[in-house]
Amino acid sequence: MRKKIFRVIIMTLGAVLLVIGLILLIQMSMMRSSIIEVSKKAGSRVEEMSKEAMSIQAKELLSESSVGRAGIADREFSEFLKAIDLIADSAEDIYLFKDRYGINEFRQYDEADMGEIVVYTAYGKDVDPEDESIKNEVDLISNMQGIMMAVNESTDSMVSDYFATESGIFLCAEAVSEYNVSKNGEPLFFEARERPWYIEAVREGKPVFTSIISDADTGKQALTCGIPVYTDGVLRGVAGAGLYLDTIREDVDNFHVGEKGYACIINNHGQILFSGSSKGELSVSEDMQADLRESPNAELKALALDAVSGKAGVSVIDLDGQEYYVAYAPMETVGWSYLTVLPEREVSEPSRNLVSELFRSNMEQRDFVRSSIFRSVVYTVVLLLVVALSVAFISKKFAERLAAPIVMLTKDVSALEGDTLDFSWDIDTGDEVQTLAKSFESMTGRMKQYIRDITAITAEKERIGAELSVATHIQASMLPSVFPPFPDRKEFELYAKMDPAKEVGGDFYDFFMVDDDHIALVIADVSGKGVPAALFMVIAKTLIKNYSKSGTSVEDIFIKTSDQLCEGNGEGLFVTAWIGIIDLNTGVMTYCDAGHEYPYVIHADGSIEILKPQKKKLPLAAMAGIQYISNEITLKKGDCLLLYTDGVLEATDADNRLYGPERLEAVLSDKWTDDTKTLLKDIRADVDDFVAGAPQFDDLTMLAFRLHKLTGEDGS
C-alpha cells in the first residue's frame, strides 16, 4: 500500500511539475513580448506628455515674468506721473486761493552755477514780461518753486519739471545750462504752448505721455508728460516734466531668459522702443517708426494688436524663420507693453533628450529581458530535475514535516509576551504554515518599529516643548512690562502689550528715554519662530537701544543695526522694524521705517493719519548695505501714536478672512478719546470678536503713546 501511495504521489507530483514548467515557459515568452510593447508605448506617451508639460510650464513662467517685469518697469512711470500731479495740484491750489500766497523771490544765477538745479521763468513769443498782469501772475506762481525743486531733487531720472501758463509764462526747474542763462539780464523766451506735451494735454483734457525724444543736453532718450490744470472750468496751464529712460533701457538690455531669450518694449502705436535683440523682427528700427501691427508676419501682427490693446498673454509665433514663445503684459500707466521672448527649441530640447534616452534605455531593456528569459528557462529546467529527484525523499518525510512546523510555530507564538516581541522564522516549509509564520514575523517587526516611532515622536515633542518654553521666557523677559513706565513724566502716557500666539515668534516692542528731552519708541517683528527668532530678537533689540542711547540719528540706527545683524546671519533671518524719537520740548518726532506696518496718528480732533515714509525700505538684515531715510512729523497736544505688528491686520476668522486696516481704523475713530491702555484693550477686544475663537499663528503686539503737553507747559 505504501508503495502504491508513494507511486501515486510521485506520478501526481511529476505531472504537476511538468504542467508548471510548461506554463512558466509560455508566460515568460508572453511577458517578453509584453514588456517590449509596453516600453515602446511608454516612450511615445512620455514624449507627448513631456512636450506638453514643457510648453505649459514655459508659458506660465514667461507670463509671470512678463507681468512682473511690466509692473516693475511701469512703476517708474507711475511714480513719475504722481510727481507731476503734485505740481498740478500745487498750481490748482495757488490759482484757487490766490489771497493765501505772497511773492517768493527767484534765486539769481549765472554761468558759475552750471549743473545746479534752479527755478527760472521764460515767456512766450507774444508775451510782454513788463505787462502788469503777467508780472502779477509770475509773482503768484513763484510760490511753486519749493514743490518743483522738491519733485526734481527726489526723482533721479527726471530731466526737468515745469509749469506753462495759458498766458505764456513758463516756470521750469532744471540744471543750469547755456540754454537757461540770461544774457545781460534780458528775459528768457520759450514758447511752451507749442510743445507737444502742452498741446496734447490740453486737447485730451487729461495726463498724456509724448513720444520718445533725445535730450538736447545729454543725448539720452527721454519722454515728457503733461497734466492740464483747470480751475472753475478755466484752463490755467499745463504741469509737465521730462524723464530719462536709462533705467528702462538698461533693464531690457540686461534681461535674459534661457540662453537666447530676451525682452523688448513696444508703445501704444506698435513701435519697438527698446529690445534686447540687435537684429531681426523684434529689434529696434533706426527711426523707431515701424508699426508691428502692419507687419507682413501675420502671427506677429496679431500679437502686436493684442499687446497694444492692453491685453496680457503668451503666443507661439514664427520670428525670423524660427518658432518663439512670446509673452506680453501691459504697462498700464504709459500704455506700453512688455514682451518676453524665448526660442521654442530651448523649451523642447529637454523633451527630445529625454525621448532619446528612453529609446536607448528601451533597447537595453529588450536585450536584458531576452537574456533574462533564457537564463530563466535554463534555471527552470534544472529546478524541475532537482525537484523530480527530491520528490521521493520529500514524499517519505511529508507527514513528519507537515506536523513539525505547526508545533514549532505554536510554541514560538506562545512565547510572545510583554516587551518580548522578537520572532523569526527560519524554517522553509513552502506551504501555508510558512506564510502564517512570515505574517507573524512581519507583524512583530511592525509592532517593534511602531514602538520605536512612538518613542522618537514623544522625545521630539518634549524637545520642541522645551525649546518653545525657552523662547517664550526669552521673549517675555526682554519686554518692558511696568506701566506707567515713567510716572514722574506728565507730558505723555504710553502703554504696550504683546499677546503671543501658540508658536513663539519674534515680535518685540521697546521704549526708553534717550535723554531728559527725548523718548524713543520701537516696535519690530523678527521672521521665523522658536529659539532662533527669540535670540535674533534679543540681538536686534539690544543693538537698536545701544545705538539710540549713543545719540545716533534714526536712519543711522537702522543702517548700523541692519549691517551688524547681517554678520553671521546663517539662518537668513530678518526684522521688520519702526523707530520714532520724540522731542518732548517741541513735539517733533523723527522716525524711520524698515519694512514695517505703517503706524497711525490719531489727532486731538479725532482725525486719523497714516504715517507712510517717503520710500518703503527693506527689513533689517534683509541684505547688507541697505540705506534708510528718516521722516519727520510734529505731534500736537492730545495726539496719539499707535504702533502695531502684522499680527493685528492679519488676524483671521474661521472663513480665513483678514481683520484688515478698515476694521482697525473704525475702532480708532470710535475709541480715539480712550487712554492708551483702554485703547489697546478695545482694539484687542474687537480683534477677538472678529476671529471668534479661530486659531491664530502670529503674535499680536501694540504700543500706544499720547502726548499730553510739551515739556515746560502747564498742561492746560
pTM, two decimals, is: 0.44
Question: Does the N-terminal peptide bond of residue 661 adopt cis geometry, omega within 30 degrees of 0?
Answer: no
432 and 538 housed in the same domain: no
- List pLDDT tens digits, range 445-475: 777 676 677 667 656 766 755 666 666 666 6
Instruction: Give the pairing type, strands 188-189 and 117-123.
Output: parallel
- List pLDDT tens digits, range 14-61: 677 677 767 866 876 776 677 667 666 756 675 677 667 777 887 888
Residues in the chain where the model's pLDDT stays below 50: 1, 716
Grid cell listed for 422: 522578537
Residue 627 has phi, psi (to 5 degrees) of -105, 120
Grid cell listed for 255: 534681461
64 and 205 housed in the same domain: yes
152 near 117, Cβ under 8 Å?
Answer: yes
Residue 714 domain flag:
no
Report the CATH number that the domain containing residue 630 is assigned in CATH. 3.60.40.10
SS3 640: strand
Rounded to an integer, what distance in angstroms lies between the CA atom of residue 660 and that of residue 666?
11
pLDDT at 403: 59
Rounded to an integer, what distance in angstroms lies between the CA atom of residue 424 and that of residue 427?
9
Give the DSSP letter of residue 652.
B
> What's the sign of the alpha-carbon dihedral 415, 417, 420, 425?
positive
281 and 387 housed in the same domain: no
| Alpha-carbon Rg for the chain in angstroms | 40
pLDDT at 437: 72
The domain total for the chain is 4
Query: CA dist 47 to 53, 177, 356, 435, 708, Å?
Result: 10, 65, 9, 43, 75
50 and 117 housed in the same domain: no
Give the DSSP letter of residue 619.
P
336 and 376 housed in the same domain: no
Determine what percent of the chain is predicted with pLDDT higher than 90.
49
445 and 500 housed in the same domain: no
Alpha-helical (H) ranges within 623-675 are 646-649, 660-671
Residue 598 domain flag:
yes
Residue 593 domain flag:
yes
295 and 399 housed in the same domain: no
pLDDT at 121: 93
Residue 716 domain flag:
no
Report the CATH number that the domain containing residue 270 is assigned in CATH. 3.30.450.20
pLDDT at 347: 83
245 and 99 housed in the same domain: yes
pLDDT at 468: 60
In 575-699, at which residue ranges do the beta strands (DSSP E only) sit?
Answer: 575-583, 588-594, 600-602, 608-610, 631-634, 640-644
254 and 117 housed in the same domain: yes
Opening angle at CA 314, ends 309 and 317, nearest 5: 100
pLDDT at 685: 96
Rounded to an integer, what distance in angstroms lies between the CA atom of residue 73 and that of residue 487?
53
Residue 471 domain flag:
no
287 and 401 housed in the same domain: no
Rounded to an integer, what distance in angstroms lies between the CA atom of residue 273 and that of residue 275?
7
pLDDT at 716: 47
Query: CA dist 468 to 30, 42, 122, 523, Å?
Result: 62, 51, 70, 22
pLDDT at 186: 80
pLDDT at 580: 98
Query: CA dist 150 to 146, 163, 553, 649, Å?
Result: 6, 14, 22, 34
pLDDT at 250: 87
Range of the domain at 44: 2-57+359-412
Residue 37 domain flag:
yes
pLDDT at 416: 67
CA atoms within 13 A on the CB side of 701: 29
28 and 146 housed in the same domain: no
